[in-house]
């Protein structure tokens, strides 16, 4: 009987040790995952900023094209 109790105790100790290892891994994983929400927010903000920049560049290019036409027209009148 004592032999069976000792075996059971060894098994329980092993299971506790394994559970402790799983718990530590779980805590470490949680610490690594927590910053992801902030990173996702930053990415969303960057996407919005890029869209704004693209619109500004497009508008600037349109303005430059118009100015080039006007300058060319004025140069033809002068010449």
pLDDT tens sequence across 11-63: 999 999 999 999 999 999 999 988 998 999 999 999 999 999 999 999 999 99
Above 80 in pLDDT, residue 67?
yes
User: What dihedral do alpha carbons 6, 7, 13, 17 form, nearest 10°?
Assistant: 160
Main-chain dihedrals φ then ψ at residue 68, nearest 5 degrees: -60, -40
């Amino acid at each position: 009987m004592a032999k069976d109790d000792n075996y059971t105790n060894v098994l329980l100790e092993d299971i506790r040790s394994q559970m402790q290892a799983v718990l530590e891994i779980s805590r470490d994983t949680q610490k690594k995952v927590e910053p992801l929400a902030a990173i996702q927010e930053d990415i969303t903000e960057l996407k919005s900023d890029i869209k704004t920049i693209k619109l500004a560049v497009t508008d600037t290019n349109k303005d430059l094209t118009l100015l080039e036409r006007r300058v060319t027209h004025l140069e033809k009148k002068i010449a």
